[in-house]
Structure 1
């Protein structure tokens, strides 16, 4: 069976440490409206985007300069009937170095085309990763949601 989980990859000239640090600076690329810790194993944080989306994440794997994994503990969308679509899914940042460049492979494991939220989430994650996170890593300034 084909892997249908959402995934996208960016490649930067910065080091794996710079990429890792930027990923963990969730307020710098995803949203300024985040409560809780975002960088250490077992940290939990809550993301809010107006009344559209709210979720709680737990960092279940943190390998410095190599990998970060969040587990979705809770989720709410105001635009879907099924509020459980994200619950139990994992958001994975795999970091690797190749040819003096750093690759970040983002996967939302469990976010599949069958989900009601897939198209909106596909577009949102694509923007956050390939624009906001990329810019945070390469220029020091992302485009997170404002508080």
Structure 2
């Protein structure tokens, strides 16, 4: 893993098992249109953000209470010159539970300052992890606009 992959982290008073359940409920914290399943290893799901954009994911790794890895198997990001920029990147959620508090370390492996979307994706991920997912962990509600269908 490159040192310059995008990273973000939060801590919340939630069990690691509950945190993984909430991460797996993608529409609960990431304001997107969702189809498929995201609960078990090898599950596949699709996220759409409007227009022709899409992101296909496979749960590449799931260690209950410890780690979830989503592999981007295909995507279309029409607003960038490399529309497949996220393809074969990984979204990694590592969790550590201690005294009823879970630390989440998020890494988007392959999202580095050298790629075109970094300037938009880094602040986006900072919002989705530090604001929306944290809120979902602590209040049961993410912080986002409802997706347009």
TM (norm. structure 1) is 0.93
Q: CA deviation at 1:98?
A: 3.0
Q: CA deviation at 1:18?
A: 1.7
8 Å CA contact retained: 1:16, 1:96: yes
Aligned to 1:129: 129
State yes or no: 1:51 paired with 2:63: no
Deviation above 4 Å: which 4+ runs of structure 1?
A: none
Aligned to 2:83: 83
Alpha carbon RMSD of aligned pairs, Å? 1.7
Give the Cα–Cα distance (whole angstroms) in 1 for the partners of residues 21 and 77 of structure 2: 28
Q: CA deviation at 1:78?
A: 2.1
Unaligned runs of 5+ in 1: none
Unaligned runs of 5+ in 2: none
Aligned to 1:25: 25
State yes or no: 1:120 paired with 2:120: yes
Aligned to 2:35: 35
Aligned to 2:109: 109
Q: CA deviation at 1:101?
A: 1.7
Q: CA deviation at 1:99?
A: 4.5
Corresponding pairs, count: 147
